[in-house]
Every structure is written in C-alpha cells, then in structure tokens.
Amino acid sequence: MDNTSTDRQPGDRRPTQEDRSARIAVTVFPVIIIAAFLIGFMFPEQTAPLAQYTSVALGIIMFAMGITLTIPDFALVLKRPLPILLGVVAQYVLMPAAAVALVFIFQLPPELAVGVILVGCAPGGTSSNVITYLAKGDVALSVTMTSVSTLLAPIFTPLLTLWLAGTLLPVDAGSMAMSIVQMVLIPVVAGLLVRWLLRRWVEKVLPLLPWVSVLGISYVVIAVVSGSADSIVEAGLLVLAVVVLHNALGYLLGYFSARMFKYPERVARTTSVEVGMQNSGLAATLAAAHFNPVAALPAAVFSVWHNISGGLLAVFYRYRSARQEKLEQTESLHSDAAR
C-alpha cells in the first residue's frame, strides 16, 4: 500500500518518508522475490515445511495493508464513485475474462488453468499504490480502488472462480470465501482499528510496512515454489508466457477502458496499474490450500513478474510525462516568441 502520513489529503502527491521507504521496497522487491523463487526451487525439501504457515504470512501482509489505510481513503468512494466503480469492475471482469481466454488459447492443463483463473479473480495487488505513485498516477484513487476490491474479494473471488473454473476442478466457494475472510478481511479491518486507536504510534512504524509486504510475499513464494519445483521444470516457460500476457493485457485493458470513458491521463494510468497488478500472494495461498501446489505456480510466477513489469511501466509513464511537459514548454516558448 501507499504509506503516507495521516494528514494526507486525497490527491496529495508530496513525497514523505513513508513514500521514500515504499519506493525503495518496490525497487528492491524484484531482486528479493527472485531470490525467494530460487531458494524455493533449489531447496524444495528444506523449504517445503513453510507451506503450512502461508495463510499466517498473508494475514500479516493484509494487517499491514489495513494499518496504512485512513478514513479519507474510503471517503473518496462518495466523492469520486464512477472512476472507482470502473476500476473495480475492470478488476473483476477484464482480468478474469483475460485469464479464461489465455487458458483456452494455450490449452493449459486443469491445475495450471485453475491457477491462472484464480490470479485473474484476485483483487488488486498491495504494491500497486506505490507503482501508481512512481507512474505519476492518482495515488488516492489507487489506494481506494485497492481497498474496495480487497474488501469485495470474499464475495467475488470465490464466486468467479467457481463459475469460471468449476468445470476444471472441484471448487468449494464457501470454504474459499471463509479463507479470504480469515486471511484478508479480518486482518485488514484489524489494521484499520489499530491505525484509528494508536495513530501516533502507527505513524512511527509506517516506513517499515512496505518491507512487511516484501518479506511476507517472499515467504509465500518460497513455500509455493518448493511444492511445485518439478512442475516448474516441465511447464515453467509456458506459465511465464501466460503470466506475462495476462499482466500486459491487464495494463492495456485498464488504461484504455478509462480513456474510453474520457477520464484524464492520471486516472487512466491508475486504472491500468490497478487492473494489471493482482494480489498474487492471496491467489497463491488460496490455490495451495484449496487445490494443489501446481495450481499455485502461476500466482508465484505472477508475484515475480508483475513487480518487475510494474516498475518498467512506471518508468514508461514517467518518460511520457517528461516528454509531454517538454512539448508544452516548447509550445509555450514559441507562443511567447510569436507575440
């Protein structure tokens, strides 16, 4: 999440200590997550016992996310409902649809197919807010989109997974919904309460929270990869290709859906990041718990890739902003010279 101070106002993009800490975490994140992937792959027997605690790790990540939230983040729902609605609908319509299309095109086996679909049905990723900040998007809008999609996950993620993947493998939507409530909803609400009750103390630990997410997701990746090391050898490149395409489609569909509704560039960038970046830690944990380690493989690969691609996307958007500013300055100079 975008960790900003409690006096942050919606749309306020001034860098704070928490912002800088988050940027460092996101920059280093791909290196750490790749290292976690390699550890799980190279030492599967030694790291396999970690799998029994992945739900705890995810709960800690979600608790940290809840602590970063403030009331203004949710007040934005009333002030700007339409772009938030667009982002959430895109999250739970475009990404699942893209997942099903890729599963059909690549003719994935059932275990991998369910894993890809589950990633598509997951809410927004916890690092999307910082990527939005780096991409010069609308941070306040991003925080609210992630929060709303996360709180809706106990309903939409299991129902969509049942609807789209129920013919591939048995899906216990009720059990999955309960898991999401326990691992996501309760920790996020608990984090909100802690932020409200211990506001001054929380401000001191905010710079540490991005690292909680980094370490927590790394833990999940190690555990998931250790249980599917053999599958990585057999289908690693195929899964990577599907994940890269799924992620790219999310970015493109999110961006152009916002532009289609005439929203400004900053909102389009925000929607692009929100739709393209998934809570792959949740998807991996659910896949391992309700299906098998092979089904969790796409989410583990997504955890690695979407943080790398998110950073690259932010660089691209910042380049576009700099180029646009340069063009505007040149036009302004020419206009002044013509007078």
The Cα–Cα gap between 328 and 304 comes to: 37
Tokens at residue 259, please? 């532009």
Residue 310 has pLDDT above 90, yes or no: no
Decide: pTM greater than 0.85: no
Sequence-distant (6+) residues with CB within 8 A of 165 are: 113, 114, 117, 118, 171
Domains of the chain (ranges; CATH) run: 17-334 (1.20.1530.20)
Say if CB 269 and CB 87 are below 8 A apart: no
Condensed to tens digits (0 to 9), the pLDDT of residues 281-290 reads 899 889 988 9
Say if CB 84 and CB 236 are below 8 A apart: no
Say if CB 224 and CB 36 are below 8 A apart: no
The Cα–Cα gap between 94 and 108 comes to: 19
Residue 11 has pLDDT above 50, yes or no: no
**Mean pLDDT value of segment 200-205:** 80
Residue 196 has pLDDT above 90, yes or no: no
Residue 7 has pLDDT above 70, yes or no: no
Say if CB 306 and CB 131 are below 8 A apart: no
Condensed to tens digits (0 to 9), the pLDDT of residues 18-60 reads 555 556 655 677 788 888 888 988 998 898 888 888 888 888 8
pLDDT for residue 10: 43
Residue 276 has pLDDT above 90, yes or no: yes
pLDDT for residue 200: 80
The Cα–Cα gap between 236 and 123 comes to: 24
The Cα–Cα gap between 287 and 265 comes to: 35
pLDDT for residue 20: 59
DSSP β-bridge partners for residue 117: none
pLDDT for residue 8: 44
Say if CB 192 and CB 66 are below 8 A apart: yes
